Chains A and B, each alone.
Chain A
Amino acid sequence: MLALDRVSKTYPNGVEALARFSAEIRQGEIIAIIGGSGCGKSTLLRAVAGLDRASSGCVTLDDETISSPHAKIGIIFQEPRLLPWLSVADNIGFGLADLPATERREKVARALERVGLADKAQAWPRELSGGQAQRVAIARALVPRPEVLLLDEPFSALDAFTRRDLQDHLLDLWADTRPTLILVTHDVDEAVVLADRVLVMRPRPGRLFDQIEINLGRPRDRNSPLFENFKRSVLTSLDRSLDRSVPDRDATQGPGQAMWW
């Protein structure tokens, strides 16, 4: 289980990007984090990835505190961030340097097959389309079999058609090993298609505002009325999160905890 306990982050310039964010995420759960721009989503993800230290609070994965990048946690950014001097295959194998060459080659070949880019193994990253490059990035992050995969607006730079394609593809890949996914997005459709649970954040300081369970089976039909319902409730919550007159619901505390005070 991944546990975030009152994670806060104040940048050196005094910006309070994240305030007392708490959540518990089951192994294999798919979480979407949604919220206005600047509400600390990336900051949160970077803290979970161990790329930045939280100012206070802590992130634990199966009781292990995360303070630097961890073998069980992978991350995919908005840009593919492929290494331009490595072939597609070598990019995917980048995190497998410790394995013997034959084993590495096998895993890379299987991953290439899995993301449908077997014919691009020896291509350079510059020869890929945006969608293909992001597939390679996904394969690179998944190939070491992380328990947690973080995705920071991974599809936001792609066109609508490619984005849908990759969303389905991500779910497909997820089903192989069922890692925990935490996906930051600003696309309500994407959140409802992918997530078991949507966390809505609100800005200044960035904090948890609401959570919405998406009780829909998979595969999900984007046109079903139920799907529309969930989309509407996420949108409503998002609107309320941006409306300053709405007080915090304090979703950070369980129902019983409030009685403590």
Chain B
Amino acid sequence: MAMISDAPVLQQTSEPAEGAAMRSRLSRYARPVLGVLLPLTLALGWEIAVWSGWSNGRLVPPPSRVLATIAELVRSGELVRHITATLWRVGLGFAFGVIAGTLLGAVSGYWSLARRLLDPTVQALRAIPSLAWVPLFILWLGIFETSKIALIAVGVFFPVYLGVMGAILSVDRKIVEVGRTFRLSGPAMIRRILLPAVLPAYVVSLRVGLGLGWMFVVAAELIGASEGLGYLLLDGQQLGKPAQILAAIVIFAVLGKLTDWLIEVAAAPFLRWQDAFGRARGA
């Protein structure tokens, strides 16, 4: 969920290029430090509060206990099992969602006839809260992996579809005209003009899609699973182990941020030309 609100930052980070040398040095070190100041202080404060006996920390366990829970899960090998299960689901659901979203989005963006045929239906489906599909998916696909992956794929599909279609539709006509004056063939126009032009928006839509993928994997695993981070959450609730719930939440956050960062890093070499990358990040 954090990733969803994160995505637009991608476009806002562009700073005025000049005179930012000093500021960029400052921001490269100071900004992350400033960012963790608040959570760190709160965690430390809570730790001290529990430690000094102001609170028993039963419902809100202190950070040390959450860390201890994580360490215990790691030692028993449980954590790897749960993380693998969750990553596998998110990975597959994301892959299917991205493939479908990209294909249909590209078709809708490129051919106006396809858009007229397809887009109203997709928009109507989008209006359905995705969790409403759950009962149907379980009926159709069973309660095991397939229905979970389908649910995640549905969540990923819509932002990717919209992103790809919107990006193609908003490609600057003037730049397409440059391609025409150099007599590019259809495939060359796609490869040399359209693809590079839509890439930035595509990366944003992938990141938004991934954020939704993480959101939906929680939903899917809460509904019924015998392993996975979502199962850890549910298990912690049923057995009254708040430290385990918080541990799962922390791991969700770390994994979400990590996978989002992976996309960013993988895309960065192709987006160096953009203002938002390169300079502002001081890569």
Contact = CB atoms under 8 A, between A and B. Distances in A.
Interface of A: 49, 51, 68-71, 74-75, 77, 79, 81, 83-86, 94-95, 97, 124-127
Contacts of A95: 182
Given A124-B273, A126-B273, A126-B275, A83 B181 contact: no
Closest 4 CB pairs of A and B: A85-B196, A85-B273, A95-B182, A69-B181
B175 A51 contact: no
7 contacts: A51-B177, A51-B180, A69-B180, A79-B174, A83-B175, A83-B196, A94-B182
A68 B177 CA distance: 12
Given A74-B181, A81-B178, A85-B197, 4 more contacts: A49-B181, A84-B273, A85-B196, A94-B192
B88 to A, nearest CB: 35
Contacts of A124: 272-273
B174 A81 contact: yes
A83 B180 contact: no
B75 interface: no
Contact of A83 (B178, B188, B275): B178
Interface of B: 17, 174-175, 177-178, 180-183, 188, 192-193, 196-197, 199, 272-275
Given A83-B193, A83-B196, A126-B273, A69 B178 contact: no
Nearest to B183: A69
Contacts of B197: 85
Nearest to B177: A51
Contacts of B17: 126-127
B180 to A, nearest CB: 6
B97 to A, nearest CB: 26
A147 to B, nearest CB: 14
